[in-house]
């Protein structure tokens, strides 16, 4: 989606956000340099900065040495791009960082220092995905094992299910 060129206000503290040009990506990010230090990413922009090997020096320079206000975490935030309510999500299975997502336009808002924390969670997105898969497998794998155990304790049920299955499949 296109880079937002309009001036937007910070969804966390209401101050005007500063357009910061990132030469390596050729895009503008909106950073709350006058208020809370939060960063707003347009749809898909976040993918360009969430891995450790991706360059965020321009962002860090903008944030370095400033005292930022601490906005309330509990208020529902409104997407500064499209006006929809943003939804709080954990950035990963580790549940260490909570971000605000806009499901309407794909925008994402990170509080000050959250970007650095997210980048510290995993070395790259492959590892992040692996962790999710491992987590899902643990959940489902346990359930399957429990079902097996239950059937083993009630063999007649297993027979019944097998009969039913055979009936349904016409065998
Ligand atoms: Zn702010
Ligand atoms: Zn939006």
Domain boundaries, the chain: 18-122, 126-169
**Ligand number with the minimum distance to the CA of 34:** 1
CB 9 within 8 A of CB 15: yes
CB 114 within 8 A of CB 108: no
Residue 31 bridge partners (DSSP): 18, 39
Q: What is the pLDDT of residues 33-52, one digit of tens each?
A: 999 999 999 999 999 999 99
**Ligand number with the minimum distance to the CA of 112:** 1
Say how many Å lie between the CA of residue 110 and the centre of ligand 1.
Answer: 10
Q: What is the pLDDT of residues 91-144, one digit of tens each?
A: 888 888 999 999 999 999 999 999 999 999 888 888 888 888 888 888 787 777
As a whole number of angstroms, the distance between CA 122 and CA 100 comes to: 20
Number of helices (H) and strands (E) in the chain: give both, helices first. 4, 6
**Ligand number with the minimum distance to the CA of 63:** 1
As residues whose CB is below 5 A from the ion ligand 1, the structure lists 10, 12-13, 32, 35-36, 38
As residues whose CB is below 5 A from the ion ligand 2, the structure lists 79, 81-82, 84, 102, 104-105, 107
Tell me: pLDDT of 7 over 60. yes
- pTM (2 decimals)? 0.78
């Amino acid at each position: 989606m296109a880079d937002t060129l309009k001036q937007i206000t910070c969804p966390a503290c209401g101050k005007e956000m500063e357009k910061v040009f990132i030469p390596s990506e050729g895009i503008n990010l909106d950073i709350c340099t006058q208020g809370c230090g939060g960063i707003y990413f347009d749809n898909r922009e976040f993918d360009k900065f969430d891995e450790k090997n991706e360059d965020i020096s321009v962002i860090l320079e903008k944030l370095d040495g400033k005292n930022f206000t601490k906005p309330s975490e509990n208020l529902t935030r409104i997407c500064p791009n499209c006006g929809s309510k943003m939804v709080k999500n954990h950035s990963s299975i580790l549940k260490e960082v909570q971000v605000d997502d806009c499901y309407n336009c794909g925008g994402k808002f990170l509080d000050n220092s959250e970007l650095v924390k997210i980048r510290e969670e995993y070395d790259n997105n492959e590892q992040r995905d692996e962790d999710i898969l491992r987590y899902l497998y643990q959940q489902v794998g346990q359930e399957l094992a429990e079902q097996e155990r239950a059937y083993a304790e009630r063999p007649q049920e297993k027979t019944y299910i097998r009969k039913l299955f055979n009936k349904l499949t016409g065998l």
